[in-house]
């Protein structure tokens, strides 16, 4: 066999190797005159007139011999691929190997210019896919080299981790009328034989040859009617059948590429395509119904549709009898329809109230009363169509739920034409936890809707045809979508791209096996951190720094000097303390500007020398700031303007305490007045020095009764100076019980320092507390690993909320393995349970941590099954993304629910179950005291946990510890944070906590009870408060579901660490990188604030960042306000980059104060 293999290789390579171990030839062999010769040196086997042949003999001991003659294979003709675009697919077991594989592939393409790009991609596509993946859509070799070496994520280049939590549903989305445009799919018709065949077959089903001709001509147009020509698809009788046929052909193409959808969801007309793939219609029948539907809509005279950015309730309240609510796409995304005159009136009405709206580009009014005259005829037409119940999962527009036998009745499709499209409910009702969405049709309309919906905001979304105004080619977008699906873990068949072509295998890219170094430890020397006994030490050879434990501590500091000259704006709550501050300032000759809280809903007014306003109204707060700036004489906003000093005593004016039983909050954690002030500060460019007075937000001396809800306010405030560069902050915390007992003298002694407080320098802790006549500031002291008494009991019983997330799972594994613990893991998901059910010591229970009754049942079951409860770990989180200046009370409450309401529910449930655990461990984050951009609710919730640990220990008698974690690397949502950071910065995050090391540190931290707050960080103490960075962005108002918290977002995501080792960007990598001048930097800031995305580059495409027409309108309006121009949304769509839009600014001012 070895000889056979050797001979095959000789023929393949055309080389004659030397004979092995040949030193001399016997003289008895007549070599010179015979036909044989011996190869001594080795030489090339040059081809001759006949094919090269070789023989191999095998002589068996038993007399059975074999002689095989081999001939070289015929030369394969070189056949360059006809495809204009190719998809490079690389995968590896880890990220390092993937980067090396990418470089290997680029090196091969550079070194082998004769290798056909199609052969290389086909060879790579046939390899077994591994966890870490890269997919790049490329048209040629130079582009392939650039994209493989750039390391940047774009719509054409995707990176992903297909391991772990893989998608559990692939949803095909089919857009409806308004998404179509002339020339849609033209490039695919040229490049993709499967698409061309499917579209031709669909057109052949049309009996009307004139309609067939008009559709074919419209789909063959190069460019867009938006360049000024008439729209050949404006007529619904033509446009809707064209859209249906395009979607059917595109869906069949995706099936041919190996994509296997499990759910079908169409939007209005798109439901016909969805129903075809689900088995309700035959394609020919569906096409005939679509044609009839288009004719009905074409017969409507004067109809129009309007997209409105408002809730369904608000829209319905404003509807006139002539108008209908046609579509509900999301919590604040609706469409109304009706006669054109009524639509124009509604448009003016909405615009007058500041509500964004825009016409839908379709010349009809579907889903409105205007179709009523045609409904009887449509019902009669449907009676002749064969309809079947869906054979696959189809979601109904009519009900917003999974469709059943009702879709096999003509009446359903009549209601579908007339009724409201419940698309938002369809998304909300998906049972899959990790769906992947594929928009099967032109543009990005439904992709934008999915990204904006709270239920699906974090889902993977891929669109398969470009937006009409995007410069991308059809094949580039399609391959980019297939690549995005593949790197996300969806099974596709990249090799099917070359079906019908003869491709050669290329030994192109070798797999770069990851080298692991094993260093012999030097037992004679310890690292300084280990020698000091205060750190976990480094992991040898890994490059990962060790983590250390730090305890929160308070130290006395000198009071501030006298306040600077000038008048301060005091937002007084009318309390004795507030009045004392006013008297103190007045007596020193600096009479303050005074604002008092008026009645809710009252108007902003000047009452003598004071302002009166509704503190919960952002507009009135903005009026107050403008009036105060003018009265103070700060000058116009901008560089060099005198900062406006604001002393806020009303945001923290709520009564202290946490309820009658210590378990139930009785007020808003973050008052509406503070949110309104934050919104106003975000809209103003005036420099502001804000001192926020909180009440008992911290446990400083042990004598006070700390209020966890007050800590929420302080935690939210920490993000203000991070998100708004013109704001500087001081949080001054006082103990109401202390100054209430001290009388007038105590008030005067406290009022002066409060009035004199100055904002903290950037990078310093903004908190100062006043207790016992002294000023205190916070610091963190290192602790040795391990304490006096281990808190974990061998074989103990523990409940972990958020136990199905990344941090919860790692912790459960460690407790079970190292401590033989008996565990009940609590989470809201059901699909994750099976993997843990095999261990009899581990029980998984579904429960919402905010459900007191359900949690009490869990605790009772723990006692019944395992005995007394030894500890509770609260690691659940519901992080809400969004800048503080954009947060609504609802989004804030949702982001706080798991940490605030969930914690109160836990202690109530423990009391109801009669349990008193050995400890209560609360999973918080470094962001609780360092803040984190875009995560105000998350930071507020973590600050709540820090103070609740003190409250629970002193008031409830439960030994409690809040753990401020650094990021748990690669777990749960941290993986998403790391991926998005890599997308935006083109670099990996600095290493976070190794999950195994973090779980071990949990044991060490518990041993330090009764310490109430510990920071577990990769940075030394003097850097913990040195200034946070910028986390991976979330659009304003987006929220994520309840998941385990490991010191960051989600299950151990760690976004709130406050510095370079978390998910933050260093300070010098903030918005503005790559800008050539202040004009571009100003435009970039407008984009980031409007889109809710940080780290945008000047050449990033507007559509790839999730932009759509409404956001384009808002950006255009802000751009015009800023530069005094008349740019329209269409101008932005034609110049969809920061650099392109900045070029339209003309000679406007270059200094930016956005």
Q: Identify the residue with better confidence: 984 or 67.
A: 67
Separation CA 992–CA 806 (nearest Å): 14
Among 189-198, 317-326, 713-722, 878-887, the least confident range: 878-887
| Domain 560-760, classified CATH 1.10.287, yes or no | no
| pLDDT at residue 1043 is higher than 60 | no
Q: Rounded to a whole number, what is the largest CA-CA distance in the chain?
A: 129
Q: What is the chain's alpha carbon radius of gyration, rounded to the nearest angstrom?
A: 34
Q: Peptide bond preceding 1010: is omega within 30 degrees of 0, i.e. cis?
A: yes
1093 φ/ψ angles, rounded to the nearest 5 degrees = -125, 130
Q: Are 1058 and 929 in contact (CB under 8 A)?
A: yes
pLDDT one-digit tens code per residue, 614-650: 999 999 999 999 999 888 765 544 445 688 999 999 9
Please calculate the CA angle 172-415-367 and round it to the nearest 5 degrees.
80
pLDDT of 1055 over the 50 cut: no
Hey, which of 850-864, 985-999, 1068-1082 has the most confident mean pLDDT? 850-864
For 899-941, the pLDDT digits (tens) are 999 999 999 999 999 999 999 999 999 889 888 877 889 899 9
What is the per-residue burial (b if ≥16 Cβ within 10 Å, else e) of 159-190? bbbbeebebebbbbbbbbbbbbbbbbbbbbbe
Instruction: Decide if pLDDT at 607 tops 50.
Output: yes
Q: Which residues lie closer than 8 Å to 210 by C-beta, 6 or more apart?
A: none
Query: How high is the pLDDT of residue 899?
Result: 93
Q: Is the pLDDT of residue 657 over 60?
A: no
pLDDT of 346 reads 94
The edge-to-edge listing of strands for the beta sheet with 333-339 is: 324-330, 333-339, 303-308, 357-359
The alpha carbon torsion through 706, 709, 713, 718 (nearest 10 deg) reads: 60
Residue among 217, 272, 280, 225 at smallest CA distance from 247: 272
- Regarding predicted confidence, which is higher, 427 or 566? 427
Q: Which residues contact 78 (CB under 8 A, 6 or more apart)?
A: 116
Task: Tell me the fold of 169-338+354-488.
Answer: Malonyl-Coenzyme A Acyl Carrier Protein; domain 2 (3.40.366)
DSSP for 173-217, please give it.
EE--TTS--TTTTHHHHHH-HHHHHHHHHHHHT-S-HHHHHHHHH
Taking the C-alpha atoms of residue 769 and residue 697, their distance in angstroms, rounded to an integer, is 9
Terminal Cα-to-Cα distance of the chain (whole angstroms): 76
pLDDT (tens digit, 9 = 90+) per residue, 301-310?
889 999 999 9
Q: Strand 303-308 vs strand 157-161: parallel, antiparallel, or unpaired?
A: unpaired
Confidence grade of residue 1026 (pLDDT, cut at 50, 70, 90): low
Asked if the model's pLDDT at residue 791 lies above 80, the reply is no
- The pLDDT, as a whole number, for residue 688 is 92
Is the pLDDT assigned to residue 134 strictly greater than 60? yes
* Helix, strand and coil in the chain, % to nearest 5: 40, 15, 45
> DSSP letters of 350-389?
HHHTT--EEE-S-SS--SSGGGGGGHHHHHHHHTTS----
pLDDT digits (tens, 9 = 90+) for 800-836: 999 888 888 889 988 988 888 999 999 886 445 444 5
How far apart, in whole angstroms, are the C-alpha atoms of residue 898 and residue 1045?
10
How distant is the alpha carbon of residue 783 from its chain centre?
35
pLDDT at 76 over 80: no
Cα pseudo-dihedral 738, 743, 748, 750, rounded to 10: 0
Q: What is the pTM of this model?
A: 0.52
Task: Report the C-alpha gap between 149 and 123 in whole angstroms.
Answer: 20
Alpha helices in 386-457 (DSSP H): 410-418, 423-428, 445-452
Question: CATH class for domain 1071-1142?
Answer: mainly alpha
Neighbours of 36 (CB within 10 A): 7
Q: How far apart are CA 832 and CA 94, in angstroms?
A: 24
**What is the predicted pLDDT for the residue at 31?**
78
Architecture label for domain 80-165+491-513: 2-Layer Sandwich (3.30)
* Higher per-residue pLDDT: 516 or 783: 783
pLDDT confidence tier of residue 1146, bands split at 50, 70 and 90: low
pLDDT (tens digit, 9 = 90+) per residue, 738-748? Answer: 876 667 777 88
How far is the CA of 1144 from the CAs of 470, 1079, 1082, 1135, 1138, in angstroms?
Answer: 18, 10, 13, 9, 10
Q: What residues have CB less than 8 Å from 318, skipping those under 6 apart?
A: 346, 349, 350
Instruction: Please determine, for residue 685, whether its predicted confidence score (pLDDT) is greater than 80.
Output: no
Domain boundaries for CATH 1.10.1200.10 within the chain: 1071-1142
State residue 1101's pLDDT score. 74
Q: Are 1060 and 1020 in contact (CB under 8 A)?
A: no
| Confidence at 777, pLDDT banded by 50, 70, 90 | very high
> Nearest-CA neighbor of 117 among 142, 90, 100, 92?
142
**pLDDT band at 602, cuts 50/70/90?**
confident
Alpha-carbon gap, residue 449 to 317, rounded angstroms: 23
Domain with CATH 3.30.70.3290 in the chain: 80-165+491-513
pLDDT at 86: 94
Say whether pLDDT at 94 is over 90.
no
**Per-residue confidence (pLDDT) for residue 1076, from 0 to 100:** 75
- Would you call 683 exposed, middle or buried from its count of C-beta atoms within 10 A (0-12, 13-18, 19+)? middle
The predicted pLDDT at position 42 comes to 87
Q: Is the pLDDT assigned to residue 782 strictly greater than 70?
A: yes
pLDDT category at 166 given cuts 50, 70, 90 is confident
User: Which of the four pLDDT bands, split at 50, 70 and 90, describes residue 361?
Assistant: confident
CATH code for the part of the protein at 792-1068:
3.40.50.720
Q: What is the C-alpha to C-alpha distance for residues 952 and 930, in angstroms, rounded to an integer? A: 23
Average pLDDT in the 942-962 region?
92
Q: Residues 508-547: pLDDT tens digits? A: 667 777 666 666 554 444 333 333 343 344 443 333 446 8
What is the per-residue pLDDT for 223?
58
| Beta-ladder partners of 427 | none
Q: Is the pLDDT of residue 500 over 90?
A: no
| Beta-ladder partners of 57 | 67
Residue located via tokens 């005593």: 649
- Please name the residues in contact with 1029: beta carbons below 8 A apart, sequence gap of 6 or more: 933, 1058, 1059, 1060, 1062, 1063, 1064, 1065, 1066, 1067, 1069
Place of tokens 């753990």: 963
Which of the given ranges, 209-223, 279-293, 1101-1115, has the highest pLDDT on average? 279-293
Q: What is the DSSP string of 1067-1098?
A: GGGSTTTT-SSHHHHHHHHHHHHHHT-SS--T
Length of the chain in residues, anyone?
1154
Find out whether 446 and 173 touch, Cβ atoms under 8 Å. Answer: yes
Domain with CATH 3.40.366.10 in the chain: 169-338+354-488
Q: Is the pLDDT of residue 1049 over 60?
A: no
Query: What SS3 state is found at 854?
Result: helix
Taking the CA atoms of 859, 861, 867 and 871 in sequence, report the sign of the dihedral they define: negative
- Antiparallel, parallel or unpaired: β 157-161 and 132-138: antiparallel
Conformation bin of residue 566: beta by default, left when phi > 0, alpha when psi is -120 to 50: left
Q: How far apart are CA 994 and CA 265, in angstroms?
A: 40
> What confidence category does residue 1046 fall into, taking pLDDT thresholds of 50, 70 and 90?
low
Amino acid 696: pLDDT: 93
Tokens of 307: 């997209």
Residue 237 and residue 386: Cα distance in Å, rounded? 22
φ/ψ of residue 419, rounded to 5: -80, 180
Residues 1138/1083, Cβ–Cβ less than 8 Å: yes
* Averaged pLDDT, 265-278: 97
106 and 142 in contact (C-beta within 8 Å)? Answer: no
**Averaged pLDDT of the chain:** 83
Beta-sheet pairing, 460-463 with 435-439: parallel
Instruction: Measure the CA–CA gap between 821 and 770, rounded to whole angstroms.
Output: 43
Output the pLDDT for position 600. Answer: 86
Which of residues 165 and 130 earns the better pLDDT score? 130
In the predicted structure, residue 662 carries a pLDDT above the cut 80: no
């Amino acid at each position: 066999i070895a000889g056979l293999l050797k001979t095959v290789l000789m023929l393949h390579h055309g080389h004659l190797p030397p004979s092995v171990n040949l030193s001399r030839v016997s003289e008895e062999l007549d070599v010179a005159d015979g036909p044989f010769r011996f190869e001594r040196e080795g030489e090339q086997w040059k081809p001759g007139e006949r094919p090269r042949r070789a023989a191999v003999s095998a002589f068996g001991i038993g007399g059975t011999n074999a002689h095989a003659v081999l001939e070289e294979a015929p030369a394969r003709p070189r056949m360059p691929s006809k495809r204009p675009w190719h998809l490079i697919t690389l995968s590896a077991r880890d990220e390092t190997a993937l980067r090396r594989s990418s470089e290997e592939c680029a090196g091969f393409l550079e070194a082998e210019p004769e290798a056909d790009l199609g052969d290389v991609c086909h060879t790579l596509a046939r390899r077994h896919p591994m966890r870490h993946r890269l997919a790049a859509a490329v048209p040629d070799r130079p582009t392939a080299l650039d994209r493989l070496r750039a390391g940047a994520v774009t719509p054409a280049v995707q990176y992903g981790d297909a391991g772990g939590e893989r998608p559990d549903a692939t949803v095909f989305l089919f857009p409806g009328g308004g998404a179509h445009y002339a020339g849609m799919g033209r490039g695919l018709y040229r490049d993709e034989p499967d698409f061309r065949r499917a579209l031709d077959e669909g057109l052949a089903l049309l009996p009307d040859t004139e309609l067939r001709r008009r559709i074919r001509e419209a789909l063959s147009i190069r460019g867009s009617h938006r360049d000024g020509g008439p729209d050949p698809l404006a007529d619904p009788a033509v446009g809707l059948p064209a859209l249906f046929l395009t979607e059917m052909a595109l869906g069949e193409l995706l099936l041919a590429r190996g994509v296997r959808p499990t759910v079908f969801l169409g939007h209005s007309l798109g439901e016909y395509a969805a129903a075809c793939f689900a088995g309700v219609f035959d394609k020919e029948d569906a096409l005939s119904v679509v044609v009839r539907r288009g004719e009905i809509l074409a017969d409507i005279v004067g109809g129009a549709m309007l997209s409105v950015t408002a809730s369904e309730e608000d829209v319905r309240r404003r509807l006139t009898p002539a108008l209908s609510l046609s579509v509900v796409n999301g919590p604040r995304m609706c469409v109304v329809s009706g006669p054109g005159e009524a639509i124009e009136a509604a448009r003016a009405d909405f615009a007058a109230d500041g509500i964004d709206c825009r016409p839908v580009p379709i010349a009809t009014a579907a889903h409105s009363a205007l179709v009523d005259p045609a409904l009887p005829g449509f019902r009669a037409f449907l009676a002749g169509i064969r309809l079947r119940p869906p054979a696959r999962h189809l979601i109904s527009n009519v009900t917003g739920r999974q469709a059943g036998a009702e879709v096999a009745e003509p009446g359903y499709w009549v209601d579908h034409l007339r009724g409201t499209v419940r698309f938002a409910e369809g998304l909300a009702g998906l049972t899959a936890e990790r769906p992947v969405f594929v928009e099967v049709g032109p543009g990005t309309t439904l992709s934008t809707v999915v990204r904006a919906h709270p239920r699906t905001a974090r889902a993977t979304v891929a669109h398969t045809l470009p937006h009409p105004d995007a410069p991308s080619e059809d094949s580039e977008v399609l391959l980019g979508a297939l690549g995005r699906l593949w790197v996300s873990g969806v099974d596709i068949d990249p090799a099917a791209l070359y079906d019908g072509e003869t491709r050669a295998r290329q030994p192109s890219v070798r797999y770069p096996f990851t080298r692991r170094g094993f260093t012999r430890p030097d037992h004679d020397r310890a690292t300084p951190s280990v020698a000091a006994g205060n750190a976990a030490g480094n992991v040898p050879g890994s490059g990962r720094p060790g983590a250390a434990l730090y305890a929160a501590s308070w130290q006395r500091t000198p009071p501030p000097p006298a306040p600077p000259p000038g008048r301060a704006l005091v937002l007084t709550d009318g309390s004795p303390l507030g009045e004392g501050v006013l008297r103190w300032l007045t007596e020193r000759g600096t009479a303050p500007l005074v604002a008092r809280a008026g009645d809710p809903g009252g108007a902003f007014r000047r009452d003598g020398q004071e302002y009166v306003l509704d503190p919960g109204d952002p507009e009135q707060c903005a009026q107050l700031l403008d009036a105060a700036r003018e009265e103070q004489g700060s000058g116009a906003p901008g560089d060099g303007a005198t900062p406006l000093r604001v002393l806020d005593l009303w945001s923290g004016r709520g009564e202290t305490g946490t309820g009658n039983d210590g378990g139930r909050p009785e007020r808003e954690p973050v008052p509406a007045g503070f949110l309104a002030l934050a919104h106003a500060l975000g809209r103003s460019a005036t420099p502001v020095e804000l001192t926020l007075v909180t009440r008992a937000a911290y446990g400083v001396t042990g004598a006070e009764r700390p209020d966890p809800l007050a800590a929420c306010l302080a935690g939210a405030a920490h993000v203000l100076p991070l998100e708004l560069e013109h704001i500087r902050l001081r949080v001054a915390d006082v103990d109401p019980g202390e100054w209430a007992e001290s009388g007038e003298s105590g008030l005067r002694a406290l009022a002066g320092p409060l009035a004199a407080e100055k904002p903290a320098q950037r990078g310093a802790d903004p908190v100062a507390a006043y207790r016992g006549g002294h000023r205190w500031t916070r610091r963190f002291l290192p602790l040795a690993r391990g304490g006096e008494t281990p808190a974990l009991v061998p074989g103990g019983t523990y409940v972990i909320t958020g136990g199905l997330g990344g941090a919860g799972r790692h912790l459960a594994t460690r407790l079970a393995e190292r401590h033989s613990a008996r565990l009940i893991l609590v989470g809201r998901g059901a699909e994750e349970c099976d993997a843990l059910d095999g261990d009899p010591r581990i029980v998984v229970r579904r429960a919402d941590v905010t459900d007191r009754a359900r949690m009490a049942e869990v605790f009772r079951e723990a006692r019944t099954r395992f005995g007394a409860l030894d500890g509770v770990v609260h690691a659940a989180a519901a992080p809400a993304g969004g800048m503080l200046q954009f947060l609504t009370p609802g989004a804030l409450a949702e982001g706080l629910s798991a940490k605030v309401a969930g914690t109160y529910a836990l202690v109530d449930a423990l009391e109801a179950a009669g349990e008193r655990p050995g400890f209560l461990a609360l999973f918080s984050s470094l962001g609780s005291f360092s803040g984190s951009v875009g995560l105000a609710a998350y930071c507020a919730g973590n600050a709540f946990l820090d103070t609740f640990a003190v409250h629970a220990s002193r008031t409830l008698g439960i030994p409690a510890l809040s753990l401020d974690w650094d990021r748990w690397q690669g777990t749960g949502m941290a993986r998403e944070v790391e991926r998005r950071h890599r997308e935006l910065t083109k670099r990996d995050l600095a290493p976070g906590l190794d999950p195994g090391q973090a779980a071990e540190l949990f044991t060490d931290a518990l041993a330090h009870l009764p310490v109430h707050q510990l920071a577990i960080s990769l940075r030394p103490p003097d850097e913990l408060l040195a200034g946070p960075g910028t986390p991976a962005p979330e659009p304003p108002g987006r929220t994520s579901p309840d998941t385990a918290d490991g010191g960051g977002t989600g299950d151990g995501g760690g976004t709130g660490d406050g510095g370079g080792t978390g998910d933050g960007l260093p300070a010098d990598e903030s918005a503005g990188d790559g800008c050539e001048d202040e004009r571009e930097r100003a435009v970039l800031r407008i984009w980031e604030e409007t889109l809710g995305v940080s780290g945008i580059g000047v050449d990033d495409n507007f559509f790839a960042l999730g932009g759509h027409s409404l956001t384009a309108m808002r950006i255009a309006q802000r751009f015009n306000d800023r530069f005094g121009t008349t740019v329209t949304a269409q101008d932005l769509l034609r110049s969809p980059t920061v650099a392109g839009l900045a070029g339209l600014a003309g000679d406007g001012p270059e200094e930016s104060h956005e």
